[in-house]
Amino acid sequence: MALLRADGTIQKLNHAGQRILNETSDDGGGLRFDLTHRRDTATPHGLVSWSESRHAKNGAIIELSCRSEPMEGGYSLVFEDVTQRRRRDRRAAAVARIAAELISDRSLSSVLTALAYEILKADGLAGVQILTGDADSGNLRVLGMAGFTSLTGERFLERLMECKQRGARLCMFEVMESSRLAVMPHRYAEVMSDPAWEPMHEVLRFPVWDAFASLPIIVRNQTIGILNLYLAPGLSVDNEDLEFFSTMAVQAGVALDYAALLESERRSAEKAERQRLARDLHDSVVQGAFSMRMQVQALKVLTGSGELLANRKKIDTIAGELEEISGAVLSDLRNLVHRTKPVALIDKGLGAALRTLVASTSRRTGIDVQMRISGELDHLGLPMAEDIYFIVSEAIHNAVKHSSTDRIDVLVNAFESTDSLRIVIKDFGTASNRPTGAGTGDGMSGRGIAFMKQRAKNWNGLLEIVFDEVHGTTVSLEMPSASEEHRWGRA
């Protein structure tokens, strides 16, 4: 409790107040409270409550909850230290927000940068860094940073390795090797006075910090990164602090692990797609080329026998077969090339690429392929556009290959209001043309269908395939968001 003069300076401070404000005299040493809250309130002469922060003599920031009312010659003031309570509230909110970030579709670097800022705000730290990589090789990456506004991840690592070469002790590397946290009081003074750290003096000088803490980021019993914390002057690390920091290190590990799993899925899908392409080449082009080679050898035998006129009919038959086989091989090659490298997609966007696909399919097969596009598609980034293109291409290819249909309808709807996309590809084949192993709903098998589903999953999309014995097959693609920023790993 304190008695304040009219200008807000302390006239009398009790022992509890001295302890909170870290003051040794009962007159408050000239400290002054901000009374603008009283002037701004609608009841300036009654009881007024407010919160304010101030720096204690040891440099720590104290958060106070204050209540005052007027008295003769000044004000009476009751205040309490709510620093720890507010810090716990901020920490709980930070954990909740980061949990929401982890289930969102933002990129890994965006999530970890957000995590770094949440730690910074929750505890009033000077700086936070999240690094991954291998300490032995020096192959590190800064994926999240907050507090050092003039410092980039690349610049930090470059100068850090220079300090290491000059003999500086890098305790963060020790943490990665030992998988045990490290807390170093007054590390700022040590770093700034050590010539080995000279390359980092400029970038670590501001904002001013004091102690340094480094925690391992552990995933599946393996340390894959570190969480570095630069504590503001006056802050110390207690068990409650370490519990919060450890929780955030675990959250960072979850984000890193999730990103690694997505990357593994992507590589598996790419490998499977290469295997599928090799199988398609073998089933069509390679077999056709082998048949052509056998026919050419037969021609050589017939023309080398000296009886050309007698073998004329056989030669004409083989020549006709060669022409038919070579045409089929050329058609298959064109189809494979068009499916693997849609030039129109790169040059003109998704809408033009789909129109080219539909037109070329109609010319090659004689099937009436009709498409209607509603909404804008060309704003989509290339990675998402590629996945959408190949889903439509595969669906049309399956209809041509496995169906006796004479018509294929493609309906594309881009909804600007919800930033979503819906595509339906429908053929009119009958049950007799049902592909081997096909089922209904999501049960259809086959690698091509698996690739389609994986491409949809890349963007949190949903692919459904329904086979109807009377009305043919319907492929439906739902994209909840047509924006690339809604996917992990696309930063």
CA distance linking residue 170 with residue 135, whole number of Å: 10
Q: Are 285 and 260 in contact (CB under 8 A)?
A: no
Of residues 104 and 77, the one with the higher pLDDT is 77
CA distance linking residue 114 with residue 252, whole number of Å: 10
Confidence at 191, pLDDT banded by 50, 70, 90: very high
E-only strand ranges, 119-158? 127-134, 139-146
pLDDT at res. 182: 94
Average pLDDT over residues 302-326: 70
Confidence at 186, pLDDT banded by 50, 70, 90: very high
For residue 438 the two structure tokens come to 């096909």
Average pLDDT, the chain: 80
pLDDT at res. 364: 74
For residue 337 the two structure tokens come to 């090339």
Average pLDDT over residues 338-365: 77
Q: Are 373 and 430 in contact (CB under 8 A)?
A: no
* SS3 assignment, position 133: strand
pLDDT at res. 138: 58
Confidence at 317, pLDDT banded by 50, 70, 90: confident
* SS3 assignment, position 146: strand
Confidence at 435, pLDDT banded by 50, 70, 90: very low
Residue 437 pLDDT more than 70?
no
342-491 placed in CATH 3.30.565.10: yes
Average pLDDT over residues 283-287: 59
Of residues 473 and 260, the one with the higher pLDDT is 473
Residue 404 pLDDT more than 60?
yes
86-262 placed in CATH 3.30.450.40: yes
- CA-only gyration radius of the chain, Å: 35
Which range has the worst mean pLDDT, 160-169, 247-256, 433-442, 478-487? 433-442
Average pLDDT over residues 194-220: 92
Which residue type, as a one-letter code, is found at position 70?
P
Which range has the worst mean pLDDT, 266-270, 391-395, 398-402? 266-270
Q: Are 444 and 425 in contact (CB under 8 A)?
A: no
Average pLDDT over residues 413-432: 83
pLDDT at res. 150: 61
* Percent of the chain whose pLDDT exceeds 70: 75
Angle between helices 239-280 and 312-340 (to 10 degrees): 160
Q: What is the strand order of the sheet 2-5 is part of?
A: 10-13, 2-5, 74-81, 61-71, 48-55
* SS3 assignment, position 48: strand
pLDDT in tens, 115-171: 898 888 887 789 999 999 865 665 788 888 898 766 666 778 888 889 999 999 999
Confidence at 443, pLDDT banded by 50, 70, 90: very low
- Of 29-38, 244-253, 378-387, the range with the highest mean pLDDT is 244-253
- Of 322-331, 344-353, 360-369, the range with the highest mean pLDDT is 360-369
CATH topology of domain 2-81: Beta-Lactamase (3.30.450)
Q: How many C-beta atoms surround the C-beta of residue 215 within 10 A? A: 24
Residue 373 pLDDT more than 60?
yes
pTM comes to 0.51
pLDDT at res. 286: 56
Query: Could you tell me the residue ranges of all domains in the chain?
Result: 2-81, 86-262, 342-491
Confidence at 368, pLDDT banded by 50, 70, 90: very high
* Rounded alpha-carbon distances, angstroms, from residue 394 to 371, 385, 451, 480: 15, 14, 9, 21
pLDDT at res. 128: 93
Average pLDDT over residues 385-390: 87
Average pLDDT over residues 426-449: 57
Q: What is the strand order of the sheet 407-415 is part of?
A: 368-374, 407-415, 420-427, 472-479, 462-468
Q: Do domains 86-262 and 342-491 have the same CATH topology?
A: no
Residue 213 pLDDT more than 70?
yes
* SS3 assignment, position 309: coil
Residue 366 pLDDT more than 80?
yes
Sequence-separated (6 or more) residues with CB below 8 Å from residue 349: 377, 378, 380, 385
* Rounded alpha-carbon distances, angstroms, from residue 205 to 91, 210, 433: 27, 11, 73
pLDDT at res. 438: 46
Residue 175 pLDDT more than 90?
yes
